[in-house]
Chain A
């Protein structure tokens, strides 16, 4: 059951991402990406990481994508008739590089697989580790967010 759900969610995620990067309208790309991130949140939930799944929905599909949508609306970029689709000159090197990645992936995926895992890690172990061993990292991340706020305010002011 869980495996079937994983494959369904993986298919949804790949198809939504392909539709997002091939469309010409940025707003449609944002909506397809929200779909993709919801599927990824489902995959995280299946992989026994419910807290990361919730943060994925709240931060990525909520905050970050709405920020993108906000900037698109503010800069008035949402005109599909004036949008240009990239030509084959842009597509060709990108497709060659991704073909190289996928072929090397297929070669690497032939190696045999895994042992079953043991036990489940709950939210409590996650929180203990987060604020215990990685407490300094939390402080540094909060400082980084403060720097980002100051930098965005500096760049966005009118002069």
Chain B
């Protein structure tokens, strides 16, 4: 272990909060919102790999791989949805798709 686990967790938490800020701030562009989700998933992967290195068990690397496969499936579906919505409304603003919330 080259650095203490606490430093890895601090880095992961900083990256996670940056991704959270990106999701909360960029409501005017749904692609930037998806990028925020990517950043948060990367922070989760960093925690898994850091734990794997800390306790010397490769299970964390396996789950990092699972997160990667899950992310690629999620991104392909979400970007297909973005293309579909853009074809209907000619915009990527999230606030333009609020019929589900407004009565």
Contact with B along A1-12 (1 / 0, CB 8 A): 011001100100
Within 8 Å CB of A101, what residues of B?
13, 16-17, 20
| A21 B1 Cβ-Cβ under 8 A | no
Report yes or no: B76 in contact with A148, Cβ–Cβ below 8 A: yes
By a CB distance below 8 angstroms, the chain A residues around B45 are: 40, 52, 56
Which residues does chain A contribute within 8 Å of B36, judged by CB atoms?
21
> In the assembled complex, how far is the CB of residue B60 from the closest CB belonging to chain A, in whole angstroms?
8
Contact of B11 among A3, A13, A37, A97 (CB under 8 A): A13
B73 CB → nearest A CB, Å? 4
- By a CB distance below 8 angstroms, the chain A residues around B8 are 47
Most B C-beta atoms less than 10 A away, residue of A52, A113, A118, A137: A52
B8 to chain A, nearest CB (A): 8
Hey, which chain A residues are within 8 Å of B42, CB to CB? 36-37, 40, 60
B18 & A17 in contact (Cβ 8 Å cutoff)? yes
Give the number of chain B interface residues (Cβ < 8 Å). Answer: 70
CB of B61 within 8 A of CB of A52, answer yes
> What are the residues of chain B within 8 A of A120 when measuring CB–CB?
56
State how many angstroms separate the Cβ of B31 from the closest Cβ of chain A.
6
- Closest-by-CB residue of B relative to A151 is B77
A interface residue numbers (CB < 8 A to B): 2-3, 6-7, 10, 13-14, 17-18, 20-21, 26, 29-30, 33, 36-37, 40, 43-44, 46-49, 51-52, 55-56, 59-60, 63-64, 67-68, 71-72, 74-75, 77, 83-84, 86, 90-91, 93-95, 97-98, 101-102, 105, 109, 111, 113-114, 116-121, 125-126, 129-130, 134, 137, 141, 144-145, 147-149, 151-152, 155-156
Give me the interface of B with A, judged by CB distance under 8 Å.
Answer: 1-11, 13-22, 24-29, 31-32, 34-36, 38-39, 42, 45-46, 49-50, 52-59, 61-62, 64-66, 68-77, 79-84, 86, 92
Can you list 5 contacts pairing A with B, beta carbon distance less than 8 Å?
A10-B7, A43-B11, A101-B20, A111-B6, A141-B69
Instruction: A33-B39, A47-B49 given; name 18 further pairs at CB < 8 Å.
Output: A20-B35, A29-B32, A37-B42, A40-B45, A49-B49, A52-B45, A52-B61, A52-B68, A71-B82, A72-B31, A97-B20, A101-B13, A102-B14, A105-B14, A117-B53, A121-B57, A134-B62, A151-B77
